[in-house]
A and B are shown apart, each in its own frame.
Chain A
Amino acid sequence: MTAVVLDGIVLGLQFGLLGVGLTLVYGLGGVLNLAHGQLAVLGAIAVWLAIGTGLPVLPAVVVGLAAIGLLGFLLDTTLMRPVYARRGDERVLLGLLLTLGVAFIIDGLLNWRYPIASLNISIGGDPISILGVRMRTGSLLASTIAIAAAGLLLLFFRGTTLGRGVRSVIQDEEGARLVGINPASVRNLIFALSAVLAGLVAVTRSMTSPVSASAGIDFTILALIVAVVGGLGSILGAFVAGILLGIVNTVSSFYIGQYITTIVLLAAAALTILLRPSGLLGRRK
């Protein structure tokens, strides 16, 4: 049981990293990015391509993530501009439609150019024992990266002026403008960061199981569930929800079966929304 829960926490931290980007982009600009998972997979395929050119794994990961971050930045400065120029429902709807379009385009391109590509970073070495549980090196490295990334993110948002500036735009955009913060450049930065985090999650997942070019939709759905359960716009909420859902995921796939896990996850999300419509840590309006 300990092993299953520990596995769940490891997986959950990665869920959290996947969800936090989605939640931040939504909190800042009202765009629910339906291409989030496709960006994750595109990041993984970029790493795969970089490795294919003969680069060692670590530089390949850096190059792949930088590329996906740049793409995120470009998407926000070009395609998302008309979205941010609108208000209210119109903005949300246009954001959904445009990002859904981006998702289809990325899926289509990957299916056309790299239909059988999949990233599978194998980390050698013997299993290591933690809390009496034997963990594979790949899974241990994936969790170390996830923990470090989560820690750095929380430090950034709580401890730096720029991080607080980002939170201030989520909490009150007009107040942020009045203290001299440009919401548009904050959105650019966070859209790029969100894409990098999505790519990073695809990379850490590939250390335990292959990430294929067609996995985008699964990542998107997962990110949506995590962000909604945590409360859209809540950074800490995404991590709490990620860890909870990670545990639900591994426990249900261990005791019930993998095929039913997605249903259990969706049921957990539906239950949370019924009990707390604004999510675990979302602010009530």
Chain B
Amino acid sequence: MLEVEELSVGYLGDDVVHGVTLTVAPGEAVAVIGSNGAGKTTLFRGICGLLTASHGRVTFDGEDVSGQPAHKISRRGLAFVPAERHLFPGMTVKENLALGAYPGRPDPATMDFVLSLFPQLADRLSQHAGTMSGGEQQMVAVGRALVSRPRLLLLDEPTTGLAPKLAKAAYEALATLRSEGLTLLLAEQQVPLALDLTDRGYVLENGRVQLESSSEELRRNPEVRRAYLGIT
């Protein structure tokens, strides 16, 4: 579904990500793990078109989308939930969710599904997104992405700024989406949560893929355990 080949991308001519190759098959959940500054966010911004890659290719659903602007890639069915969420603070939760379906109107069944996934939002539809807590904003951000009915959901650090309990709840919601058949690619520093959810994982260090394996093997890998799972 997604093939990233030798992608190099960065800011103002300085590449942060160097020649990364990764694939995501339909129905798969894939994790990109790595420490802060490893290039996960830059890689994701390059995939979804917010940054223009200096080298390499991104193919989504068999079509070369390299160099296309973010709004076009989004309309093709690749939804990106950034770590900073980028909600519309002066608009209500309902308006934020509905804009996911831009330029169309949201599909009622999809809206119902989002509200069943995040029941807290149902009572808050008329609250302004800017006044919500971090956990609730994360729900709105994921909800807004789902309303676009994506075929691939990219999540950058979905647990940023969340207390451990809320982080766990966020991953339970993601597990539900997985079981519904949605294809997921996520970047995460909370490595245990990410590896429990996903089928496969890539370890990113200094903008390069250091390791690529099934999530189960990564959990057993001594280096991963030492570097990311806090186990010696």
Chain A residues proximal to chain B, CB less than 8 Å: 161-162, 164-165, 167-168, 171-172, 174-183, 283
Contact = CB atoms under 8 A, between A and B. Distances in A.
Interface residues of B, number: 30
B141 to A, nearest CB: 9
B222 interface: no
A172 B71 CA distance: 14
Given A178-B80, A179-B148, A181-B71, A165 B91 contact: no
Interface in B78-102: 79-80, 82, 85-91, 95, 98-100, 102
Contact of B102 (A171, A174, A179, A183): A179
A28 B74 CA distance: 20
B102 A180 contact: yes
B97 to A, nearest CB: 10
B142 to A, nearest CB: 12
Contacts of B13: none
A174 B74 CA distance: 12
B87 A175 contact: yes
A177 B90 contact: no
Contacts of A177: 49-50, 69-71, 74
B88 A171 contact: yes
A172 B89 contact: yes
B103 interface: yes
Contacts of B90: 167, 171, 283
A168 B88 contact: yes
Nearest to A184: B69
Given A171-B90, A283-B90, 19 more contacts: A161-B98, A161-B103, A161-B105, A167-B88, A167-B90, A168-B88, A171-B89, A176-B88, A178-B48, A178-B50, A178-B71, A178-B145, A179-B74, A179-B99, A179-B144, A180-B71, A180-B148, A181-B71, A181-B99
Contacts of A175: 85-88
B108 to A, nearest CB: 15
A177 B99 CA distance: 11
A176 B102 CA distance: 9
Given A180-B75, A180-B102, A180-B103, A172 B88 contact: yes
